[in-house]
Chain A
Amino acid sequence: MGFLWDNHTVILDAFGEGLILSGWAALFALVTGTLLAVMRVSPVPPLRWTGTAYVSVLRNTPLVLCFMVFTSAIPHLGFTAEPLTWAIWALSAYTAAFVCEAVRAGIMSVPRGQAEAARAVGMTFGQSMRLVILPQALRAAVPPLGNTMIAMWKNSTVAAGFGVAEGAGALHDLLNEYADKIWTLFIGIAVGYMVVVFVISAVFRLIERTWRYA
């Protein structure tokens, strides 16, 4: 414990960095993933194809490759950015595919009468999506989205391999310095990750409970 306290600034900074990364990635992934899900169920074929292609490519490639695309290939388009920015891009792009699948499953779980009723009162596809289908679909998608967000938080460790000083990076660096403290460090940082996992799952359980049908 004493050893962890001595290095608490390094460790807390690292977790802060990881939380910033995951927070932005969560925001972008939720928005993009929902849009992709709407594209995948829309009546417009090119949008459907794009959504389907995006999901099948991203779901079948490792996150590490996704990071490689953003840190070694995309910079060759002539863009420059901080490692943290690229990490946010990579993590959002990857997680969006999983958010899309969760939301799409939610859309499928909305009773078809809801969509038919929305059409019967003259709503367009966009209106019935926005006002009728998505509010119910997102509610059904809360538990799987919670799992996706937990997976994303754990996946954010991959950024350590690409120049972001988050939790796994701190573990790696501190281990180089204090090889004899391996178990203290490992347990300390692992517990840190677990605490965040439990917080995320508690938050999603709370959302699930407050959003439940009245």
Chain B
Amino acid sequence: MNDTGFLYDAPGPRARRRILAASVLSGLALVAAVAWIVVRFNDRGQFVSDLWLPFDDPSVWSTILEGLGNTLKAAAMAIAFAITFGAVLAAGRLSDHAPVRWVANLVVEVFRAIPLLIMMIGLFAAFPESLGPLWSVVIALTLYNGSLLSEVFRAGVNGVPSGQREAAFALGLRKTQVMTLVLLPQAVRTMLPVIISQCVVTLKDTALGRIVTYQELLLAGGTIEVTYQNYVPTTVVLGAIYIALNMSVSSIAQLAQRWLSRARKGAPVVPAATIEDAVA
């Protein structure tokens, strides 16, 4: 942990002994807590190997995979629509026309403040036939995440140094050209990690679909739990799936960040001093 190293000195012999003692004590407390939980579950028969047997059954896995497929489908649709909606809202909020800005700002403020679940329940109740569970989930996620993303887009575009914009206008580019040719390509770099971490949030939020009867992963898991009465094993499996999924998305975000910072270093600008030196 280099980054927190400044909070304490490099330990001397006494501090090292103290850290060791604290490590042993806290390690023991941790082991004791885990052991206590395991023993409790074991006493109640939740660790019996029979309870894991359902996961040997292909039909259980087909239920899980179907749920996982639905989760991914809703997440992918919601992310695609949210990015589009967010881009439109951001364009509105950056517009030169005040009324367009007001409307876009109002939309963002409203959809950011309404809980997702309320939107899902409302949409599902208002249009039970025409929307169905999937579209209720997707539309609610789109409205909510689109509003959040519009904030990210706006901040990204505003974060580009103002000289870029002024230079582009000075060259005679038009408003749209300045945005698409100069500002956006630079803004995307700074925004990409945030957009990807918003994807993790969206993926997690599809789980709310369970409450409006969308057949996603957790609803599928719920039926397995109830059928086989294996609460702990099912929870462990479901948790592992989500964590694996989200961590891989997050690592894509890290990769993207590293790739982008390398891309920036890729073509170094020749420092002014060197040019002068060369001339002199």
Where the two chains meet, the residues of A that have a C-beta atom closer than 8 Å to any C-beta of B are 40-41, 43-48, 50, 56-57, 59-65, 68-69, 72-73, 76-78, 107-108, 112, 115-116, 119, 125, 128-129, 133, 153-155, 157-158, 160-161, 167-168, 171-172, 175, 179, 182-183, 186, 189-190, 193-194, 197-198
Compute how far the CA of A119 lies from the CA of B9 in the bound complex, rounded to whole angstroms.
8
Q: Are A182 and B122 in contact (CB under 8 A)?
A: yes
What number of A-B contacts does a CB cutoff of 8 Å give?
Answer: 156
| Chain B interface residue count, Cβ-Cβ cutoff 8 angstroms | 55
A72-B225 in contact given A41-B7, A46-B27, A194-B113 (Cβ < 8 Å): yes
Cβ contact within 8 Å between B231 and A76: yes
Within 8 A of A (CB), among B18-45: 19, 22-23, 26-27, 30, 37, 40-41, 43-44
- Which secondary structure characterizes the binding site on chain A? helix
A73: chain B residues at CB < 8 Å are 46, 231-232, 235
Chain A's nearest CB lies how many Å from the CB of B2? 12
A68 in contact with B122 (CB, 8 Å): no
- Report the separation of the CA atoms of residues A155 and B114 in the bound assembly, to the nearest whole angstrom: 10
Docked pose: A69 CA to B238 CA in angstroms: 11
Task: List 18 additional contacts besides A64-B218, A77-B44, A108-B3; criterion CB under 8 Å.
Answer: A41-B7, A57-B239, A64-B207, A65-B218, A68-B225, A69-B235, A76-B41, A107-B4, A115-B7, A157-B118, A158-B208, A158-B211, A160-B117, A171-B118, A190-B118, A193-B118, A194-B110, A194-B114
Please tell me which stretch of B56-64, B242-250, B261-269 contacts chain A, meaning at least 4 of its Cβ atoms lie within 8 angstroms of it: B242-250
CB distance from B197 to the nearest CB of A (A): 10
Contacts of A41 in B (CB 8 A): 1, 4, 7
Most buried by A among B119, B218, B222, B247: B218
**B contact residues around A116 at 8 Å (CB):** 6
Asked whether A125 lies within 8 Å of B7 as measured between CB atoms, the reply is: yes
A133 and B44 within 8 A (CB): no
Report the Cα distance A56→B15, complex, angstroms: 29
CB distance from B90 to the nearest CB of A (A): 19
Residue B189 at the A interface, CB < 8 A?
Answer: no
Shortest beta-carbon distance, A203 to chain B, in Å?
Answer: 15
- On whether the beta carbons of B207 and A63 are closer than 8 Å, the reply is yes
